[in-house]
A and B are shown apart, each in its own frame.
Chain A
Amino acid sequence: MTQTNGKAAQSMRKQLLLMFVICAGLGGAIGAIGSKTPWLAVCMALAGAPALWWLAGHCLRPLQELTTTVASRQPQETTPLEHTPAVELEPIVRALNVQWQQQRDALEQQQRFIAEASHQLRTPLAVLKTQVQGVTSGELPASDTLPKMLRTLDRASHLANQLLSQAKVEQKVRQAQWSLVDMHHLASDVLVEFAPLIARKQLEVSLDAEPVRLMSDSWLVGEMLRNLLANAIRQSATGASLGVVIRHLPDELELLVWDNAGGLDETVRERLFQPFESASGGTGVGLGLSICKQIAVSMHATLDLYNRIQQGAVVGVDAVVRWPRPAHAMAQDPAVPARSMPHAALSEATLRMPA
């Protein structure tokens, strides 16, 4: 910005000088043709030059002052500029202040995240150290403590994976590779990936997908679905049912992950999208939904959690992602016409209401 302002001042000065030379030249030429004393016109034009030069310098002084102020700031300085050198420069100063405010917010958010991540990572390490020392000194029985250590390790590993996933999402959001993503194939592939976890809990799983292709980044959509499914599986009891629905709505495309694992408390619902927030009694590290929200926002989609009501009782949670349907952003496969969803649970899903 500083460099740009400096260049602008220099360019304006050159333009004024050029105008002066042209005016003086024209004045001289006209004077030489129309008058018997052309030397007088040339002298007058030359005499005006310093005055015009001084005027240009005076007009550009506020811009130069702003250039100097901005150039003298440290790269990490984000405090707003309180003094505006001239009224004409107020829009520039306002734009600069907005940009610095955004930079400050991003830095603060990053610092909060690092502080929380440090805490979250160090806690299981501290627990592990205590457990190892307890077993080594004989104060804790090994048969009881070792399985607990394994659980602590699993939690730390999961957290490390989620932190890496978050970092990758941030990178991918900036460098998304957009293409037409076949949502049915993508959901099918993700469910196949989760087959071992599904098998372990013997879950009844279903995929109800209309033929839809979405202009998006397949890795990002896949990562969002993985996180939503991992949550649903983690919350589900052995033998429970869960599923994925992909369907067209009048103005939107909907991706829905449903489970039958009970509802969410209204007080925690919005907090769940914040990093390191998880539902009470949950075993997650609290990054999955925050990652999903980040991905959804990057795609101009919305992500919400609803309690699903069946016969008057809350039975589970619907995680709903909705993309707006601009004609250029989505293409429905023309070979396969859209069909209404036959799944019985889906009609119940429409009865959901906010928790």
Chain B
Amino acid sequence: MDVLLVEDDLDLVDALGRVLASRGFKPVCCGDGHEALAWMRKRSFDAVILDLSLPGLDGLDVLQRMRDLGLRLPVLVVTARASIGERVTGLTLGADDYLTKPFDTEELVARLRALMRRSQGIEDFRCGHLQLDMNQGLFLRSGRPLDIAPREGAMLRALITKPGRPVSKDDLYQAIFGDDASHQSDAIDLLAHRLRKRLAGSGAALLTMRGIGYLLVDELGHDSKDPA
């Protein structure tokens, strides 16, 4: 897993490089935008970690040049400015995800792995001991198929594919019943009640955000973004 780490702070490069290496990545480090592009031209990488504030050619320019050159590597932007992070993940600038400094190294590694899996088309979703096998369309609990009714499965699928985000009742209704408008809106609450029982002991819990929707929570503590 070759990763290009583009960061001009030497202390951060040193610490992060060691962490990445210890987690099985092969990091190549550089502190300059031009050098980063040169590396990308002469060698293939599985992902890029890109700081936005770089001397010479800054991170936004690097992203733009990568797009112009047709380089479609997954890019995880690291920035001290959250507002810019939100913009770079937009389609126009082509970054795949962002982290705001200071970040948690566990989170960086998790996001990097998720990006690489996504770019290789091996997207799977996990929550607690639950896993959605996208190839077979099956839910696994601790590696074994989970016995779940179709509508509960549709609800769980809608929730697990949006990790860390609540799903509104309207979206859940659409995911479960499609265009069939004959069901009462409290049918979602009833399904949620059943699903909650089904998930007991799975390390995943269904949380109600009344007025917003439902949120699938990883009780084993694999949450990601922290806005505070």
**Co-complex (A, B):** yes
Chain A positions within 8 Å of B, measured between CB atoms, are 153, 157-158, 188, 191-200, 202-209, 226, 230, 233-234, 243
The smallest beta-carbon distance between A114 and chain B, in angstroms, is: 22
Q: Is B183 an interface residue (CB 8 A)?
A: no
Given contacts A199-B164, A206-B211, A207-B209, contact A194 B227 (CB under 8 A): yes
Chain B positions 207 through 228: 1 when the CB is less than 8 Å from some CB of chain A, otherwise 0: 1111110010111010111111
In the assembly, what is the distance between CA of A78 and CA of B210, in Å?
Answer: 54
In the assembly, what is the distance between CA of A193 and CA of B209, in Å?
Answer: 13
Q: Is the pair B228, A192 in contact by a Cβ cutoff of 8 Å?
A: no
Q: Is the pair B227, A199 in contact by a Cβ cutoff of 8 Å?
A: no
Q: Is the pair A199, B226 in contact by a Cβ cutoff of 8 Å?
A: no
Q: Is B151 an interface residue (CB 8 A)?
A: no
In the assembly, what is the distance between CA of A157 and CA of B101, in Å?
Answer: 9
Number of A-B residue pairs at CB separation under 8 A: 67
Q: What are 22 contact pairs spanning A and B, CB under 8 A?
A: A158-B228, A188-B211, A191-B212, A192-B166, A195-B164, A196-B164, A196-B223, A196-B225, A196-B227, A198-B215, A199-B207, A199-B217, A199-B223, A202-B219, A204-B207, A206-B209, A206-B210, A206-B211, A207-B210, A207-B211, A208-B210, A226-B227
In the complex, chain B residues whose CB is within 8 Å of the CB of A193: 227
In the assembly, what is the distance between CA of A200 and CA of B226, in Å?
Answer: 10
The smallest beta-carbon distance between B188 and chain A, in angstroms, is: 16
Q: Is B165 an interface residue (CB 8 A)?
A: yes
In the assembly, what is the distance between CA of A21 and CA of B92, in Å?
Answer: 71
Which of B166, B211, B217, B224 is the one whose CB lies under 8 Å from A208?
Answer: B211
In the complex, chain B residues whose CB is within 8 Å of the CB of A192: 165-166, 212
Which of A188, A200, A207, A243 is the one whose CB lies under 8 Å from B223?
Answer: A200
Interface of B is mostly: loop
Q: Is B102 an interface residue (CB 8 A)?
A: yes
In the complex, chain A residues whose CB is within 8 Å of the CB of B225: 196
The smallest beta-carbon distance between A286 and chain B, in angstroms, is: 15
The smallest beta-carbon distance between A132 and chain B, in angstroms, is: 13
In the assembly, what is the distance between CA of A194 and CA of B218, in Å?
Answer: 15
A-B interface, 4 closest residue pairs, ranked by CB to CB distance from nearest? A207-B211, A206-B210, A199-B217, A205-B209
Q: Is B5 an interface residue (CB 8 A)?
A: no
In the complex, chain B residues whose CB is within 8 Å of the CB of A203: 207
Q: Is B73 an interface residue (CB 8 A)?
A: no
Chain B positions 154 through 175: 1 when the CB is less than 8 Å from some CB of chain A, otherwise 0: 0000000000111000000000
In the complex, chain A residues whose CB is within 8 Å of the CB of B205: 202
Which of B165, B211, B212, B221 is the one whose CB lies under 8 Å from A200?
Answer: B221
In the complex, chain B residues whose CB is within 8 Å of the CB of A206: 209-211
In the assembly, what is the distance between CA of A197 and CA of B221, in Å?
Answer: 11
The smallest beta-carbon distance between A309 and chain B, in angstroms, is: 23
Chain A residue nearest to B81 (CB atoms) is: A164
The smallest beta-carbon distance between A103 and chain B, in angstroms, is: 32
The smallest beta-carbon distance between B221 and chain A, in angstroms, is: 7
Q: Is the pair B215, A195 in contact by a Cβ cutoff of 8 Å?
A: yes
In the assembly, what is the distance between CA of A157 and CA of B227, in Å?
Answer: 12
Which of A157, A158, A202, A243 is the one whose CB lies under 8 Å from B217?
Answer: A202
In the assembly, what is the distance between CA of A194 and CA of B212, in Å?
Answer: 12
Chain A residue nearest to B101 (CB atoms) is: A157
In the complex, chain B residues whose CB is within 8 Å of the CB of A157: 102
In the complex, chain A residues whose CB is within 8 Å of the CB of B207: 198-199, 202-205
Q: Is the pair B209, A198 in contact by a Cβ cutoff of 8 Å?
A: yes
